[in-house]
Structure 1
Amino acid sequence: MFLRLFDLRAIGSHAATIWVGQLAVMAFAITDTLVAGRFAPEALAALSVGTAIYISIYVGLQGFVQALLPIWAQLHGAGKPLRLGYSVRQSLHVTAVCAVLGMAVLLQGGPIMRLVGVPAALQPVVSDYLAIQALTLPLALLARVFNTFSQSIGRPQWVTGLQAGGLLLKIPLSIWFTFGGLGVPAMGLPGCALATFITHVVLLALMGLLLRRDRSYRPYQVWQRIERPDWAELRSFVHLGLPSSIAIWVEVTAFTMMSLLVAPMGTTAAAAQQIASNLAAVLFMWPLSLAIATSARVSYWRGARQPDNAVQALRSGLLVAATSAALAALLLALLREPLARLYVQQASVAGLAASLLLLVALYHLADAMQVMALFLLRCYHVVTAPTAIYTVLLWGIGIGVGYLLAYGHLPLARGWAGPQAFWGMSALAMGLVAAVFLLLLRRVAKAEQAD
């Protein structure tokens, strides 16, 4: 029991620090949603599409980097700081490849929009938005390397501080560039993207300064000339990172595809979908933070060759995740109407958004448990099975069946046509994913204890 309380405190403190930073990052998206909503409903609809495309690309790529956390946390637990610093530098090679691939896709947003039937009136604005986001992508991925490294060694404080500080810069810049003033013309939605780019430039400069100057990073000697590619090291990155990246890409695109498939339903549906997806993403920040903190703790114990302690930490994290997710879902269901009105003034949009938030509450319960299980499976290097499970359930049921219901292609569609079908089927699919992941996690954790 003492160990469990000890791990609860360690995980809770680590997760809370990460969470504050994640909320600051999430507030970037909230800022854009609020600013775009005040600028014009069309801008909010365009943001829904642009965000869906950008997140579909970015999250899959950053998932590759985030998947390296267990490797680095195990090196930390094994007491090998210089080896850890070397591994971080090697990760820059794969980060550069990810950045180039991501930029190339983002600059081809037009064909993607035409493929899913995004209204022609929204496409030029979304294209301008994505062009600026393409420039931001390499900076965001480098920031993710810094964040993952800091989290792996149990030092998320600087990450949180930088993310919170970035928000203080992002908010006024988004308002200024979107609405114009002081000699700057009103840019509309692309102004939000430009504010994000400038903020990332500043943040990355500060991260580089910290790696060189801050004493908590000195033992790892990260700030050195980058060595030539170590193919053995890079293969280990690919072995863990590629399946994890694909899994996260499938998960996130199952989420973001809802926005793209809702877009042809009209401005009201697209705007309500943006509100629902934004709140779902905000709620997701706590279980994600908890998953990062718990996986770092579990990997640390595994690196120290203490599998029993790893299982205790695993159980502690899952307990906190289940309790907090239930509370968050209840609050969302009770406060759905005032939350919807906070985002937008149009009654039709707010009413539809409020109805979606009931389904978002159910979705969140399942989402919290599956992300915990996913990160913990990654600690045990189980990365291939989750990809297949995600693909079958999230794409097959969440998007596939959801699409058929939403557009009236199934007899059950009466009363389910519209965005509600996507959220209902996605909640069901996510619940099945969580159940399968937890069963798989229980098996692999017990197997390591028995060895």
Structure 2
Amino acid sequence: MLADVRKIAALAWPVLIGQLAIIAFGVIDTAMVGRYSAVDLAALGLGSSIYISVYIGLTGILTALQPIAGQLYGGRHYSQIGEEVRQSFWLALALMTIGFLILYFPEPILRVARVPAALHERTVAYLQILAFGLPAGLTFRIYSSLTNAVGQPRLVMILQVGALLMKFPLNRWFVFGGFGMPALGGPGCALASTTINWTLAVVGILLMTRLDVFRPFAIFSHFCWPVWRRQVAQLRLGIPMGLSYLIEVTSYTFMALFIARFGTTTLAGHQIAGNVGAVLYMTPLSIGIATSTLVAQALGAHRHEAARTLSRHGILMAVTIACCYGAIALALRPLIIEGYTPNPLVAAAAMPLVLIVVFYHVFDSLQVTTAFVLRAYKVAVVPTVIYAIALWGVGLGGGYLLGFDIGGAIPVWLTGARGFWVANMASLAIAGSGLLLYLQSVSRRYLQAGFDGQADKAV
């Protein structure tokens, strides 16, 4: 087990640092805008929830490149990796068009959310600026999926840390103004992120043309048109993956949309709790990505027993660390909230939600690590169904019943934002358990049947 933990840790720590650098974007945005105005902070929470839903759903489709390239890399089929990357760029072109239209014209979504008039203008401005950064974000996702697939996460980490170094001064300039720039508040965060996204995309493309690690793939050796067979293969895996990401993220997004009805103070408290949860989430996410890389490469090399053992050890590692994180967050809860806001009303709204996040995180770790391992097996449809039932049915449906006290019999401590967070915690426990049971079935089937070609098909 220790040997597997070391292998996973060697790939996970660069992913973790890179992911923490990116999640620090949200921490910086929340902290700076929280000191600009409570209205802008609430608009930021709402706008970022909508953007993340669109971004994660679309990039989730492109993430299909990672298990595909990982298995090809394990089997030493290098030229095919280059072809898959070229096809991913064509796929990204179609996806960025869809995403841009959704973000630039967000009125249908805002009407569903019944967004207060005070938040409407700031939220629209935030989303429209981010619409122009979406194409760059999708391009960089191809780069990061490829580098993770071939076991080179440091190449992503370096760029993400560099992006963080750019984020603080750009945010400070655009949010509060100066040197001829007016104070933009929340939309200033979007402008800073868009600038950084384009920088990452350009640098990522340049690295794929120049670094030795990418040379065997001959990615840009020649031009090619979309190949229907490969596009279908990527979509067949990518669409369920994208849907599972979308279900996971929209369960949180719609929480924010519903919680917005309780007022800006409650929504701001929810934003703080969500940001704490997102920071904690980065460690199991990194372990999941690292484990998925190793499992995919083992499957490509026909080492099915090793893949199964790596899966088990990666999941156990993530859950164990999550328990430790939860204990630390519980002890430091008042200090953590104080670091986000000086507003006592917002802090009071955030306090019980962060308590729930402590326990929520353990189940979140279980489900995300298990889901990534299943994607390494190129299994996507059944996990998506599990996500839909658990996160939308139990999480959102149950949260609506509790939060708005449907029926009038819900205890006071389970109503409002707390009701939504408790229901979401229960949904993650159900999703994690279901995914783990299904993984055991899939890995057992691989061991029994061997690699006979059928294992390449998404279940």
How does the TM-score come out when normalised to structure 2?
0.96
**Counterpart check, 1:106 vs 2:100:** no
Is the CA contact 1:337–1:351 (under 8 Å) kept in the aligned structure 2?
Answer: no
1:224 aligned counterpart, secondary structure: coil
**Counterpart check, 1:391 vs 2:388:** yes
* Other-structure match for 1:219: 216
Contiguous gaps of at least 5 residues in structure 1: none
CA-CA distance at 1:225 after TM superposition: 3.8
Give the aligned residue type for 2:217.
Y
* Other-structure match for 1:125: 122
**Counterpart check, 1:41 vs 2:38:** yes
Aligned residues: CA RMSD: 1.1
* Other-structure match for 1:268: 265
Give the aligned residue type for 1:16.
W
* Other-structure match for 2:8: 11
Cα deviation digits, residues 57-78 of structure 1 (max 9, x gap): 1111111111321110000000
- For 1:62 and 1:128, the matched residues in 2 are separated by 23
* Other-structure match for 1:449: 447
**Counterpart check, 1:80 vs 2:77:** yes
- For 1:396 and 1:334, the matched residues in 2 are separated by 32
- For 1:55 and 1:19, the matched residues in 2 are separated by 19
CA-CA distance at 1:141 after TM superposition: 0.7
- For 2:222 and 2:258, the matched residues in 1 are separated by 46
* Other-structure match for 1:433: 431
* Other-structure match for 1:308: 305
Is the CA contact 1:93–1:229 (under 8 Å) kept in the aligned structure 2?
Answer: yes
Moved more, 410-419 or 384-393: 410-419
Which of 152, 155, 167 matches 1:155?
Answer: 152
* Other-structure match for 1:55: 52
Cα deviation digits, residues 414-444 of structure 1 (max 9, x gap): 3322110011010011101111110110111
- For 1:259 and 1:360, the matched residues in 2 are separated by 15
* Other-structure match for 1:418: 416
- For 2:93 and 2:316, the matched residues in 1 are separated by 38
* Other-structure match for 2:139: 142
Cα deviation digits, residues 372-418 of structure 1 (max 9, x gap): 11111122222111121111111111111211211121312433221
Moved more, 349-358 or 159-168: 349-358
Give the aligned residue type for 1:186.
A
Moved more, 168-177 or 377-386: 377-386
* Other-structure match for 2:361: 364
CA-CA distance at 1:318 after TM superposition: 1.2
* Other-structure match for 2:90: 93
Listed as ranges, the matches of 1:199-348 within 5 Å are 199-348=196-345
Count residues in correspondence: 448
- For 1:202 and 1:431, the matched residues in 2 are separated by 39
How does the TM-score come out when normalised to structure 1?
0.97
2:151 aligned counterpart, secondary structure: coil
Contiguous gaps of at least 5 residues in structure 2: 450-459
Is the CA contact 1:290–1:372 (under 8 Å) kept in the aligned structure 2?
Answer: yes
Residues 184 and 415 (structure 1 numbering): CA distance in 2 closer, same or farther, change over 3 Å?
A: same
Give the aligned residue type for 1:148.
S
Is the CA contact 1:84–1:220 (under 8 Å) kept in the aligned structure 2?
Answer: yes
Is the CA contact 1:340–1:351 (under 8 Å) kept in the aligned structure 2?
Answer: no
Identity among equivalent pairs (%): 38
